[in-house]
Every structure is written in structure tokens, then in C-alpha cells.
Amino acid sequence: MSAEVTVTIDGREIAVPAGTLVIRAAEMLDIYIPRFCDHPALAPHGACRQCMVEVEGQRKPLTACTTPVTQGMAVRTQHTSEMAREAQRGVLEMLLINHPLDCPVCDKGGECPLQDQTLAFGPGASRFAGEKRRYPKPVRISPLILLDRERCVLCARCTRFSSEISGDRFIALFERGALQQVAAYEDEPYESPFSGNIVQICPVGALTAEPFRFRARPFDLTSTPSVCTLCASGCRTIVQTRRGEVARILASEDPEVNEEWICDKGRFSFPRAQRPDRATEPLVRKDGELVAVSWAEAAALVAERVGSARERGAPIGVLSGGRLADEDAYALSRFARGVLGTADVDSRSWTADGEEDAVFASMLGSPGATYSDIEVSPLVLLLGCDPREESPILHLRLRKALNRRGSALFEVGPRATALAREPGARSILCSPGTEAGVLLSVAWLLVNPFGLPVDDATKEGLSSPGRAALRDASGVADEPVLALAEALRAAGGRAVILAGERLSRSPGALAVAWNLACALGARFGHVPRRGGFRGELWAGLHPRLLPGGRRVEDPAARAEVERVWGASLPPVAGRCARAILSEAGSLGALFLVGADPASDFAGFGASAVEAAPFVVAQDLFLTESSRRADVVLPARGPAERAGTSTDWEGRAAEFEAAVAPAGLSLADRDILAMLSGALGEAFPTRTRDLRAEMRVLERSPQAPAAVGAPTPALPEPDGLRPFSLVTYPLLLDAGTMLAGSGALLEIARRACVEMHPGDAAALGVSPGDPVRVASAMGEIVGPARLSAGLARGSVFVPANQEGLRALALVDPFAPVTAVRVERA
């Protein structure tokens, strides 16, 4: 397979793996062969014919993009062959006969391969004297994407991207001959969270994006390499600015991470920075109103109130929300524990008990799964995560593994993800909260018939009576459990187990998943929803963890941190976010740094923020929480400050500031340094000092170790509310980071109440009927949507869609919220 062959291109020799295409081999020699349809990430297509080269012994020129090299092949490109030059000239002339001469008004002008190649190789004038094809323009194939068909060179990159990469075949080529054209279905709109990529790979100006159309010329833009922090995928991007404002965001290339794709959320949500509710100056509540003050006044007020709370010994709560850069997260952890002396620190917006910290502590100190592991793994077990909605680039990589590498995927959870439709994927639907039971059954099979050696804690969990009961409650048959166990056994250490943050809603499940990975020697990855979460976790924004995944209870670990900080740390574990919020009234102060509990915890969070006697909010926006705060400190947004971001793999990437900060906003780390100063405490004031400390606190990697598993608990049946609520935010929702994103929000999915057809029939509900979902916290009414990809007895409502916010239903005190469902 990987035998090497030697090929000569333009007289230069190179050895490449057999099967390499001529065009790729030429690239390795830095010989550029012009092309339009060829794209390294897409299957060879051979349509545009621009890359024709002369191959010795062949009568006709061959396309470099479809011809694999063979031993001893001699290739001559346009640089050395008249035949190749002539063929390429002919194709370019033909591509231009139907192409309009509208470069001066075309958005692609300045970065257009057709324009560039015409300039380099094309004729000065056309011999075509006939009639060009004309179309009404533009066609709006989605709210975001516009198509000018007369500019299209029919390279099919966009349609191939849709079928090969993103897997949403909403665009296709229609018609024949010169009338062939890209089209979307009349009755099904082009709905894809990856649609912006087709604009970026279009080699002409046929596809343009609404947010950029006619806004700027590419050559007037300033580019800054950056990292998208809207989710934990870690995509490399290029932020392009004009006159200090973001004009466009492009996908940048990193074969290890996002390859060359980003999702539409990352690409098109930048207009939020210019929103009117952006916090641009420090605000202090005076007579019930937030009024603008100087930084000095705001800092003095915070110092005074926090100082007196400290003196009284009143607890101080510090919450972050998974949105901070690593340096800001670290500064916040240092500020909370070292300066404020509190242990009540948390970054999670979900309810979780004891097992998480043990798993996270071991995970942060050991090598975990990567994108590359996923791509070559024969088996991925996906738990508590819907990648298309929560980590879109992970979705693409999993899709690639399934479609191109023939991997297998098992997912266990109450709702099938979009990956379940892919070849080799299998969805094991279980009742919400019973994942632990299914996983324990899998472990049981692996240990008993298959003889997998496991640690004592796992063994203990396996023999607990809770396992069988939970397994019964899951509603899962024996066959899929056995199939999963067999697949894991066969894959062994080459398996990858991915757990999302929602797996914690089934107590014990995360620990079993982790222990399974340890026992198999498989790679494990934790996929949080928010981009800053991994960095915040590392920084110790967790009630039981110190920087680097050190345990609070471990005196030696504590001493290491104390040495660096020059402060003594509380030796006790703090409270989790939910516990802090439930006793907000007794807090001395509540710090919200990029945290919005009034949204994440809905009514419960809002009351807590109201109840807290003194609330300091560091945020980009006046959110549901920060508008209730006593002091609002404006923070800098993603493109406005430099920093580091760590993706779900634990891979860190630095980025630079791309635009000027909004108003008087400061980076979170600088705000915290200012507040420390006001409190009379020393604090690093430079990013590089923070980074130096972080490096000192980095632990050397250790082998992942199994953790003790809590006894799984059976969800209490609720006679009045027999259904279980499944809810999580979709990629495009009514969230803070998306508001004001214009056309992007038009492709957000409409809210609905999703239920199993069997349950719907029992309740007399037809698709589209209004359905009432009521929990102990509240009720909502939405249109029904039936889906067999949902466990019986469950109902799915997206957490935060416009007009239907399931967050309002969520019971913060129960892992799974019981609901009543009826036709409204």
C-alpha cells in the first residue's frame, strides 16, 4: 500500500507513496498546477480539466488531479510542456466564454483563482463572439448563501462538500450541458451548519455569503490568525478586519484539528460584537439603576464590599461560564482562591456529583483522545454528546471516520444524534439517566465472559444491585449491549470513548466510561459544550480541583500551588454552582465572570442573582444575569484580546487580538489584577507572567487511573410526571453569543417538542399539534415533532430556541427532570 514510487515532474525527481495523485506530487515539489475542481479534501473529480499535464508515453494530456503516479512516470507541466500549456490555455478560454466580466463588482475579485489564472496564463481578449448564458441573479439558496449561477464554473466543489464532508445533500447539480447549474430543492431549503465552507472553497464568485456580500474587498482586509472559542472544537480561523471591525471570519487550516472547515456559528456570529447591549464601560447600581462610572470608582466599590465580606467571614461565590481564555481562567482561579480566599468556585452550568472531579483530575494529568485518534480508531463510543450541535467539527471528523475509514460508532443515550444515520453507526437508545446501567452491563459482559481485567472499584460497581435495576429501567434489549461489548473487546486499546458533559446526568456513568477506557487502554475524551471549559477546568475553576487537575484534598498538591501563588489556600472543597446559587442570600458577594446563571439555570438562577447581596459581573454583554448585578465590569470579547484556548482534546492554541476593544473594556485578567490591587493584594499584571506560572503548574503526564464509582441511583418514578425531559442547547439558539447575528439566526431550527411516535400515538398527538410539557419548575407549549430516534418515555425540547425555552423546565436539583406531556 505505502510502497514508494519515483516520479519525475518537470525534470525533478520525487519519491511518493504509490497512488499519490500527480497534482499532489507536484505540490510536494512546489510545482503549482492550476486547478478549479480539485480540492485535497474531496474525492478526485476531473471535471474542470484545468490541470492537464503531459505524461510521457501518453498521446493525450491527462488531468493531474485524477492520475495516480506510477513508477518511473515522467510528467511535464505547463512549465515545460507545450502540450500541457496548450491544453490549459484551451480550458481557460472555454471557462471564460460564459463567465461574466463583472470582476469589479464581484466579491471574489482579488482572491479569485479564475481571475488569478486568467491574469497569469489567459489570453488578453476572447475569441468568443456569441451569446453568454444568463440567469436571474442571485439565487438565495439559504438565508446565508447566495448563488450567482452565471459566474459558476461547475467545479462541483460545493455539491461534493455537501455530500462528502458535511453529509447534508441539500444542493446538487441540475440540468445538462451549458445549462447545468447548482440548485437547491424547491421544497427543502439548504440547511446546513457548515454552509459557509462552500463559499470559502468556491473558486469563483458564484457563492457568496450574505454577511459579507458587497461589504468589502478582500485586499482591503487585515488578516489575523485566531482560534474560535464558541465551542470546544478548537477551530483555527482567520479573522479579517476592516477599519477596526470584523468583516469576515474564514476557516484556517490545521490538519490535526479542523482540517480546513469551520461551522457557520464560528463563521457568521461575529456581528454580535457591535450589539447595543454590549457592555462598554464600568457600571455601578445607584438608586436601582446601573450607571456608568470610572474604572477606579467601580474597583474601589468592589474592594470595599468584598473586603468587608472577607472580614465578616461571609462566603464569596465565584462562577465562570466556560467562555474564558486560558489565561483569564487561570487569573480567575488565582484571584478566587488566592485573593478572595474562597473555595466556592465553579464553571459548570450543570448539576453533577462527586465522580466528576476524580475523572477530571486523572484526565487533566494524562494523555487523552485526539481528533487523529478518532480518525484511525476502529470503534468510537459516544456518550452524552451530540457533536453536530455541540462540537460540529468533531461531528465532521466522526463522519469522516465512518465514511472514509470504515470505523464503527456506538452511541448510548436517550436521543440519536445525526451520526446515527451514517454507515457503521449504531444508536442504543436508553431512558435518560440510565446510561450508567447500560454501561455497567457492557462492563459486566467485558469482565465476565470476556475476561477483561478491571480494578476493584469497577468490580464493586458491577456487583451492585443498582446495576440490574438501572439496566431494566433503561429499556435497552440484550442484543445491542452484547454487540457493544463485543465491539469494545475487539477494538481494545484502539477504541475511543467520548463523553459529553450531559453524561453526568446519569450518576456513575462518567466514572464507568472512564474506568472502561482505563481497563481497555482506550483513549478517552471529554467533550464540553463551551470553548473555555477545558481551560477553566485546568485552571481549577472547580470546587474540588486546583490548577493542573490537582485535588484540593491533597496537601502536597495544595502546597505546590501555594508556593507559586504565595498565598495559603483553603484546605476544603468548595460548593458546586448549584449549591452556591441555592444559598445565594447568605453570600458576602457573588462574582460572575462570563457566567450567566439567570440563563443557564433559568428562573432558579435569576432568583439566586437577585438574592445575592452583592453581585459583580464581568461580561461582554448586559445579560439576564449581569443586568441584575450591582457592578458590571466590561470585559473584552474573543477577537479583542490575545490569549490561549484549549480545545476538548486538551490541545492549546494561542491567538492574537484582531480588533480594537469595545469602549473601555479590559481583558478579564487585567480586571482581576486591578481588583486585586484595590484589595491591596499582589497579582501578576502581565500575561506572560501568568503564562509562566501556568507552565510551572503544568504536571508531567501520568497514566490514567481508574476512579471509584458511586453506586448508581435509579431515577425516582414520578406518577404525576411520567416522562423524562431530554434537553440541551442546539448549535444555533437564542444564546447570548449569537444574538444579533442576523442571517445566521434564520437557519436556526424552529423550536419543537420531539417525541417518539409510539408515545405520541398513545397521547393522541399528531405532528405539528401543540403539546404541553410541564415540570415542577414550569411549563411550555410547542408543536410536536415525531422521531423514532428518541427513547420511549422521553421528550426532547431544545434548551434555548427562540420562543420555546426548555431551560425554564429544568429541575436544578434532579439529574433528570420529570415532566407531564399532553396535547395542549
**Rounded Cα gap, residues 105 and 389, in angstroms:** 36
**Rounded Cα gap, residues 368 and 461, in angstroms:** 24
CB of 43 to other proteins, least distance (A): 8
Check binding of 310 to other proteins (CB under 8 A): no
**Rounded Cα gap, residues 429 and 63, in angstroms:** 48
Which is nearer to other proteins, 89 or 494 (by Cβ)? 89
For other proteins, which residue of 1, 57, 127, 453 counts as binding (CB under 8 A)?
Answer: 127
Check binding of 180 to other proteins (CB under 8 A): yes
Give the side-chain half-sphere CA count within 13 A for 782. 26
For 59, phi and psi rounded to 5 degrees?
A: -70, -35
**Rounded Cα gap, residues 377 and 493, in angstroms:** 9
Report the site for other proteins in 360-419 (rule: CB under 8 A): none
**Rounded Cα gap, residues 744 and 140, in angstroms:** 14
Q: Are 194 and 264 in contact (CB under 8 A)?
A: yes
Residue 806 DSSP SS3: helix
> Of 38-46, 258-266, 344-352, 421-429, which part binds other proteins (CB under 8 A)?
38-46
For other proteins, which residue of 50, 166, 504, 794 counts as binding (CB under 8 A)?
Answer: 50
Check binding of 179 to other proteins (CB under 8 A): yes
Which is nearer to other proteins, 65 or 592 (by Cβ)? 65
> What is the number of residues in the chain?
824
Q: From 545, 500, 225, select the one nearest 384 (Cα to Cα).
A: 500
CB of 205 to other proteins, least distance (A): 17
Which is nearer to other proteins, 17 or 46 (by Cβ)? 46
Report the site for other proteins in 690-719 (rule: CB under 8 A): none
Which is nearer to other proteins, 133 or 792 (by Cβ)? 133
> Of 23-31, 53-61, 550-558, 711-719, which part binds other proteins (CB under 8 A)?
53-61
**Rounded Cα gap, residues 799 and 555, in angstroms:** 40
Which is nearer to other proteins, 104 or 130 (by Cβ)? 130
Q: Are 407 and 424 in contact (CB under 8 A)?
A: yes
Which is nearer to other proteins, 90 or 109 (by Cβ)? 90
For other proteins, which residue of 52, 509, 577, 590 counts as binding (CB under 8 A)?
Answer: 52
**Rounded Cα gap, residues 500 and 809, in angstroms:** 21
In sequence order, the 6+-apart residues with CB closer than 8 A to the CB of 586 are 314, 315
> Of 45-53, 136-144, 282-290, 446-454, which part binds other proteins (CB under 8 A)?
45-53
Which is nearer to other proteins, 180 or 200 (by Cβ)? 180
A 10 A CB-CB count for 506 gives 32
For other proteins, which residue of 57, 104, 124, 130 counts as binding (CB under 8 A)?
Answer: 130
CB of 261 to other proteins, least distance (A): 23
Which is nearer to other proteins, 130 or 717 (by Cβ)? 130
Check binding of 125 to other proteins (CB under 8 A): no
Residue 236 DSSP SS3: strand
Q: Are 772 and 824 in contact (CB under 8 A)?
A: yes
A 10 A CB-CB count for 468 gives 14
In sequence order, the 6+-apart residues with CB closer than 8 A to the CB of 573 are 343, 543, 544, 552, 553
Which is nearer to other proteins, 46 or 271 (by Cβ)? 46
What is the DSSP code string of 632-646? Answer: EEEBP-GGGS-EEEE
> Of 129-137, 141-149, 242-250, 268-276, which part binds other proteins (CB under 8 A)?
129-137
Give the side-chain half-sphere CA count within 13 A for 416. 20
Peptide linkage before 211 cis (omega within 30 of 0): no
Check binding of 131 to other proteins (CB under 8 A): yes
CB of 805 to other proteins, least distance (A): 42
> Of 127-135, 414-422, 620-628, 684-692, which part binds other proteins (CB under 8 A)?
127-135
Report the site for other proteins in 89-108 (rule: CB under 8 A): 90-91, 93-95, 97-98
Check binding of 168 to other proteins (CB under 8 A): no
Which is nearer to other proteins, 131 or 287 (by Cβ)? 131
Binding region for other proteins (CB under 8 A): 43-50, 52, 59-61, 66, 68, 87, 90-91, 93-95, 97-98, 127-128, 130-131, 133, 153-154, 156, 172-173, 175-180
